[in-house]
C-alpha cells in the first residue's frame, strides 16, 4: 500500500511519518497531503487557546477523554479525537512539551485518541500553515474531532485558533483577567469561554469579569453573531469538574453552526484563506525564480538612490522591462 492509502486505512505509524514530514516542511509531505485532499473535509476542528499556565493541556486531555464517552451529534459512535498541541518552549513554562507528553500519556492507551505535540520553531505565520497541514492529515486519517491547543499571546496564535470551527478561550483566576483576553482581541474570536482552576480563589470573580467584557464586546463587534451567545463556563481540569458541561456547549455550538449555515461559511472562508496564501507564496517564488540573479537587488539599489519610486520599480519588474 502507498503512504496515502495506509493513512486512510488508519495506519498510525504512516500517519506519524507524514506528520513529521509536514512539520519539517519536506516536499514529499505536501505531495502526500495532495493525494489525501479528496479524503478531507469531514473533521470538526476545535481551537483551545489562552495564556500559558491557564491549564489548556490539562483541559484538552480531559476533554478528549470525555468526548470519547459519548456519541457525536447524529452519530451512533463516539468520535475519534486527535490533539495537536502547539506548545512553544516558552520561558514561562520551560519544558512544557515534555510536561504535556507526560500528562497526556494516560490517554495513549485509547486507540481513538491521537496526540501530537509540536514545538513552535520558526515564524508564527509558518506555524499557522504547518498546523493547518497537520489538521488536514488528521482529517484524512479519519479523526472526527481535532483539538488544537495554542498559546494565546498574539495575533498569529489567534489566527491558528480561528482556523477552527469552534474556538474555546481559556482564562484562570489571577491571570490578569479581561485585560489579557482583550489584548489579543481574543474575546471576539471566542465561541466558548472557560474559566479553569475554578477550585482556586477568585474564579467566580473572573467569570463575572469575563461575562461583563463579553457583554460589552457583543454590543461593539459581534453583531454578525447575534444568534450565538458565548457561555462562560467554570471548570477544574485537574479533576474533570465542569468538563461534561463544556462538552454540552461544544456540541451545542456544533449544532448551531450546522443549523444556521455558518459551518459552510467558515469552511469556505478557511479554504479561501489557505488558497490565497498558497497562491501568493507560489506566485512570488516563481517570479523570483524567473528573474535573473541580482535584478531584485539592483531595484533595491535604485530605490536607495531614489532613482525610481517603489511603484515604478514594481511596474518595471512586472512589465519585464529592465
Ligand atoms: N488548581 C488547579 N490547577 C490546575 C487546573 N488545571 C491545570 N492546573 C495546573 O496548572 C498547571 C498548568 O497546566 P497546563 O495544563 O500545563 O497549562 P497550559 O500551559 O495552559 O497548557 C499544571 O500544574 C496543572 O496541573 C485546575 O483546574 N485547578
Ligand atoms: Mg500546554
- Residue 188 confidence (pLDDT): 76
Write the CATH number for 61.
Answer: 3.40.50.300
Name the residue at shortest CA distance from atom 2 of ligand 1.
197
Do 55 and 21 sit in the same domain of this protein? no
- Residue 278 confidence (pLDDT): 84
Query: What is the span of the domain harbouring residue 6?
Result: 1-35
Our mutation pick for probing the ligand 1 site, out of 47, 98, 238, counting the most ligand atoms within 8 A of Cβ, is 238
Find the residues whose C-beta lies inside 6 A of ligand 1. 52-58, 93, 96, 99, 196-197, 199-200, 236-238
Last residue of a domain, one of 221, 243, 260: 260
Which ligand has the shortest distance to the CA of 52? 1
Do 21 and 163 sit in the same domain of this protein? no
Does some domain include residue 310? no
Do 20 and 128 sit in the same domain of this protein? no
Do 182 and 82 sit in the same domain of this protein? yes
Does some domain include residue 47? yes
- Residue 219 confidence (pLDDT): 63
Does some domain include residue 307? no
Does some domain include residue 67? yes
Three-class SS string for the chain? CCHHHHHHCCCHHHHHHHHHHHHCCCHHHHHHHHHHHHHCCCCEEEEEEECCCCCHHHHHHHHHHHHCCCCCCCCCCCCCEEEEEECCCCCCCCCHHHHHHHHHHHHCCCCCEEEEEECCCCCHHHHHHHHHHHHHHHHHCCCCEEEEEEECCCHHHHHHHHCCCEEEEEECCCCCHHHHHHHCCHHHHCCEEEECCCCCCCHHHHHHHHHHHHHHHHHHHCHHHCCCCCCEEECECCCCECHHHHHHHHHHHHHHHHHHCHHHHHHHHHHHHHHHHHHHHHHHHHHHHHCCCCHHHHHHHHHHCCCCCHHHHHHHHHCCCC
Which ligand has the shortest distance to the CA of 56? 1
Do 225 and 181 sit in the same domain of this protein? yes
| Ordered mean pLDDT values, 10 residues apiece, the chain (322 residues) | 95 94 91 96 92 91 93 89 76 42 56 84 67 94 94 63 84 71 67 95 92 75 67 97 97 95 90 87 87 87 96 88 48
Do 22 and 119 sit in the same domain of this protein? no
Q: How many domains does the chain have?
A: 2
Does some domain include residue 82? yes
Name the residue at shortest CA distance from atom 3 of ligand 1.
197
Do 30 and 119 sit in the same domain of this protein? no
Do 12 and 132 sit in the same domain of this protein? no
What is the number of the ligand 1 atom nearest to the C-alpha of 51? 20
- Residue 159 confidence (pLDDT): 65
Amino acid at each position: 500500500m502507498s503512504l496515502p492509502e495506509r493513512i486512510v486505512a488508519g495506519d498510525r505509524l504512516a500517519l506519524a511519518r507524514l506528520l513529521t514530514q509536514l512539520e519539517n516542511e519536506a516536499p514529499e509531505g505536501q505531495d502526500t497531503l495532495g493525494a489525501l485532499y479528496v479524503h478531507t473535509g469531514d473533521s470538526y476542528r476545535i481551537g483551545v487557546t489562552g495564556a500559558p499556565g491557564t491549564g489548556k493541556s490539562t483541559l484538552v486531555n480531559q476533554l478528549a477523554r470525555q468526548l470519547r464517552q459519548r456519541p457525536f451529534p447524529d452519530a451512533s459512535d463516539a468520535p475519534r479525537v486527535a490533539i495537536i498541541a502547539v506548545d512553544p518552549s516558552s520561558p514561562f513554562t520551560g519544558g512544557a512539551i515534555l510536561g504535556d507528553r507526560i500528562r497526556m500519556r494516560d490517554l495513549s492507551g485509547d486507540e481513538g485518541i491521537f496526540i501530537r505535540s509540536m514545538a513552535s520553531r520558526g515564524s508564527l505565520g509558518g506555524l499557522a500553515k504547518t498546523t493547518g497541514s497537520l489538521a488536514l492529515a488528521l482529517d484524512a486519517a479519519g479523526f472526527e474531532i481535532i483539538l488544537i491547543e495554542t498559546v494565546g499571546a498574539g495575533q498569529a496564535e489567534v489566527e491558528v485558533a480561528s482556523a477552527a470551527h469552534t474556538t474555546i478561550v481559556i482564562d484562570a483566576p489571577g491571570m490578569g483577567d479581561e485585560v489579557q483576553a482583550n489584548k489579543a482581541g481574543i474575546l471576539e474570536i471566542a465561541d466558548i469561554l472557560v474559566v479553569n482552576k475554578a477550585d482556586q480563589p477568585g474564579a467566580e470573580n473572573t467569570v463575572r469579569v469575563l461575562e461583563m467584557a463579553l457583554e460589552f464586546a457583543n454590543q461593539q463587534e459581534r453583531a454578525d453573531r447575534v444568534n450565538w451567545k458565548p457561555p462562560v463556563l467554570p471548570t477544574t481540569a485537574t479533576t474533570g469538574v465542569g468538563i461534561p458541561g463544556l462538552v454540552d456547549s461544544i456540541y451545542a455550538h456544533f449544532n448551531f453552526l450546522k443549523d444556521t449555515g455558518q459551518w459552510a461559511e467558515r469552511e469556505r472562508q478557511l479554504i479561501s484563506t489557505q488558497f490565497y496564501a498558497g497562491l501568493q507564496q507560489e506566485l512570488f517564488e516563481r517570479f523570483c525564480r524567473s528573474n535573473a540573479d541580482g535584478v531584485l537587488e539592483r531595484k533595491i539599489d535604485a530605490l536607495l538612490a531614489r532613482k525610481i519610486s517603489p511603484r515604478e520599480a514594481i511596474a518595471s519588474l512586472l512589465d519585464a522591462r529592465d
